[in-house]
Amino acid sequence: MSNDAAIIQARGLIRTFGDNTAVDGISLTVAKGEIYGLVGPDGAGKTTTLRMLAGILDPSSGSIRVAGYALPEQRGAVKEQLAYMSQRFGLYLDLSVEENILFYSDLYGVARKGRDEVINRLLDFSNMRPFRKRLAANLSGGMKQKLQLVCALIHTPAVLLLDEPTNGVDPVSRRDFWRILYRLLQEGVTILVSTAYLDEAERCSRVGLMNQGRIIAEGPPEELRRSMSSRILSIRSPKAREVSRVLARELDPDCNVNVYGDKVHVVCGDPAAAAAQAAALLQQAGVVADEFKEIEPGLEDIFVSTLGPAKPAAAMGFELDEANGGGIAIGPAGKWAVEVQGLTRCFGDFTAVDNISFQVPKGEIFGFLGPNGAGKSTTIRMLCGLLAPTAGNGRVAGCDILTQTEQIKGSIGYMSQKFSLYEDLSVGENISFYGGIYGLGGPRLGERKTWALTMAGLNGRENSPARLLAGGWKQRLALACAILHKPPIVFLDEPTSGVDPLSRRRFWDLIYDMAGQGVTVFVTTHYMEEAEYCDRVALIYRGRMIALGTPHQLKMGLVHEAILDVRCARPQDVIDELAGLPGIRDAALFGAGLHVKVDQATAAQARIRALFSRKQMEDFAIVQITPSMEDVFVSLIEKEDAKDI
């Protein structure tokens, strides 16, 4: 790309904080109308890079030009051409949606003449018009993200910088968000986005993989995939974690084994030989696998292979503490760790949780899914004794959630959705503080503190302030503090939100280790592949439970339409035409391609091929697939919404 074509250009960019080099000499260019994805592990330097490109942070050395302006010298002038959406909400929670937009209109100096027309267009653009009078504090996470984007776009920038904009956002809201981004691209807006979702990075024109402050690989997603010298064997199984453990232990040591939802990817040189060896090992171990096939690597395969697998948490020695709940009888005959009947919570006229009932046995990993604002966190807060129900009853660790809240708090670990540590305290001080809350002291606290630092990967950082940790390290530290006392039940509210794939693997290794010791794990997540790792999954929507079962049961029994996986160049350009074909219920972006929901697979494939032929598109693939958990999630939400029409 010539320098003349670059609307964003950085050369030799360095940023240091004391002795720490956060960004180490990176160079990148982004063309007008391009969407560039920046990915990398937590602490790689992505946010620091975006803050320098936005003119918020001065580089220690190097040069930056954005929309023709040199930074930081011309940061005042570039504001007219630039919008930046940070990880932390820049909204005023005590203002309404409309008031926030008007405030940012004044801030950017948007002329009053014609302003209403622009605001109405953006509200329709983002499907936020019905909520214009609602306080920002009362919006779900996904709606807050969309409102922040609307505020950033009020002055129609030439360049849009987005720092992990879909963190903590459910799949339905993520799809809406990307539809908005593609519309902006069609209007000529240049977008640079950092993301923890590798399926989102697949949709970018080009991708830069950052690690330790440097860009170590860059190019279009298809180029990066071709650069991988190894090949990928995919093994599908309802017991993917068991498959992974067997193969990691017994398969040829040259093979690398990673879990992706209900599939296991084996990185190897010869997929046919690896498949034969894997099939024999799994048969010998009595573990069922129903599909072995070679596939093209995805960006997450590239990410994991390039940066290396995470250290398994199973080697970190979590053992249930018999003195603090490990030997208690949980529920009738010790069967239920959590049991609720008719649980309801109202806030004024609003019903956040509406008459839900379920049971969770001891040692189960129970997934609790739902869109933003569905009632997941409210349910968890009631189960943890932090919020009184309006109606209904239940027991947690054998204790009544209405009358024995203090006993519950001593028998559980709780990791909240928001970072719950004290940012002004050091890593070690946070651990000691939480140890004191849980009654740990002396040698026992010292032993648990050593374990926590190892589990969180923070050895040597005991004296670092918590606020300086990258997102993944903060999350691991928060989890370590929540389970210092080795509780029999752990509630994890979106523990991996915004965490890179390697850190997420580390989290789930620990979760499986805890469950193997008899710990009950109650977890909410927006990563649909993580729902595959749960023993059972419940889906809550508008406060009501609308589905409950194993991931396999939900995928096989709740999506009655056929799902086609469609791969083609620039799928965003054909999505609307596909959705309008007869017999097609829906078409949505899914990774680098599309998932198309159809009434009848054969007829739909013929219509799609005919459409591609008319558009003279030759390089495409159409395959009928088993529904993913994301397909199940979206399908159930759409069916619930259809009841109100």
CATH topology match: 229-296 vs 560-626: yes
User: Residue 334 has what pLDDT?
Assistant: 57
pLDDT exceeds 60 at position 275: yes
Instruction: Choose among 305, 235, 303, 288: nearest CA to 265.
Output: 235
User: Residue 318 has what pLDDT?
Assistant: 54
pLDDT exceeds 90 at position 141: no
Residue with tokens 């040698």: 443
Domain 3-219 adopts which CATH fold? Rossmann fold (3.40.50)
- Dump pLDDT digits (tens) for 159-199: 999 998 887 778 888 888 888 888 888 889 999 999 888 88
Biggest alpha carbon–alpha carbon distance for the chain = 75
Question: 559 with 631: CB under 8 angstroms?
Answer: yes
d(CA 192, CA 206): 10
Q: Select from 3.30.450.30, 1.20.1560.10, 3.30.70.270, 3.40.50.410 the CATH code of 229-296.
A: 3.30.70.270
Question: 25 with 188: CB under 8 angstroms?
Answer: no
pLDDT exceeds 90 at position 644: no
Domain extents for the chain?
3-219, 229-296, 316-550, 560-626
pLDDT exceeds 90 at position 6: no
pLDDT exceeds 50 at position 316: no
d(CA 571, CA 280): 39
d(CA 312, CA 308): 12
The total number of residues written for the chain in this structure: 645
Q: What is the mean pLDDT of the chain?
A: 87
User: Residue 321 has what pLDDT?
Assistant: 56
Residue with tokens 């004024």: 348
Cα-flanking dihedrals φ and ψ of residue 423, to 5°?
-70, -25
Per-residue pLDDT band at 320 (split at 50, 70, 90): low
Per-residue pLDDT band at 267 (split at 50, 70, 90): very high
Start-end of H helices in 189-290: 198-201, 221-226, 240-250, 271-285
Beta-bridge mates of residue 306:
none
Q: Is 349 helix (H, G, I), strand (E, B) or coil?
A: coil
Sequence-distant (6+) residues with CB within 8 A of 365 are 511, 512, 515, 521, 523, 533, 534, 535
Q: How far is CA 255 from CA 73, 226, 295, 305, in A?
A: 51, 19, 15, 11
35-39/190-194 β-pairing:
parallel
82-85/6-17 β-pairing:
unpaired
Cα-based torsion angle of the residue sequence 300, 304, 305, 306 in order, rounded to the nearest 10 degrees: 100
| First-residue to last-residue Cα distance in the chain | 50
Question: 416 with 495: CB under 8 angstroms?
Answer: no
d(CA 243, CA 533): 12
Crossing angle of helices 629-642 and 171-186, in 10° steps, is 90
Query: What is the separation of C-alpha 296 from the centre of its chain, rounded to a whole number of angstroms?
Result: 23
Domain 316-550 architecture: 3-Layer(aba) Sandwich (3.40)
Sequence-distant (6+) residues with CB within 8 A of 645 are none
pLDDT exceeds 80 at position 127: no
The percentage of the chain sitting over the pLDDT mark of 90, rounded to a whole number, equals 48
- Dump pLDDT digits (tens) for 447-498: 999 988 887 778 888 999 988 887 777 888 888 898 898 899 999 988 887 7
pLDDT exceeds 80 at position 435: yes
User: Residue 63 has what pLDDT?
Assistant: 96
Concatenating the DSSP letter of every residue in 366-382 gives EEEE--TTSSHHHHHHH
Q: Is 492 helix (H, G, I), strand (E, B) or coil?
A: strand
Averaged over 339-360, what is the pLDDT? 94
User: Residue 310 has what pLDDT?
Assistant: 44
d(CA 295, CA 451): 39
pLDDT exceeds 50 at position 250: yes
Sequence-distant (6+) residues with CB within 8 A of 69 are 75, 77, 78, 81
pLDDT exceeds 80 at position 60: yes
Query: How does DSSP classify residue 98?
Result: H
d(CA 588, CA 601): 16
190-194/336-347 β-pairing:
unpaired
Four-residue CA torsion sign, 203, 208, 209, 213:
negative
Sequence-distant (6+) residues with CB within 8 A of 229 are none
d(CA 258, CA 239): 13
d(CA 507, CA 496): 7
d(CA 333, CA 44): 49
- The kind and range of the H/E element at 151 are helix 141-153
Cα-flanking dihedrals φ and ψ of residue 321, to 5°?
-90, 110
Q: Which residues of 89-127 are buried (b: 16+ CB within 10 A; e: fewer)?
A: eebeeeebbbebbbebbeebebeeeeeeebbeebbebbe
Per-residue pLDDT band at 609 (split at 50, 70, 90): very high
d(CA 525, CA 504): 11
Domain 560-626 adopts which CATH fold? Alpha-Beta Plaits (3.30.70)
| Token reading at 163 | 């720092």
Instruction: Choose among 366, 342, 354: nearest CA to 549.
Output: 366
User: Residue 594 has what pLDDT?
Assistant: 93
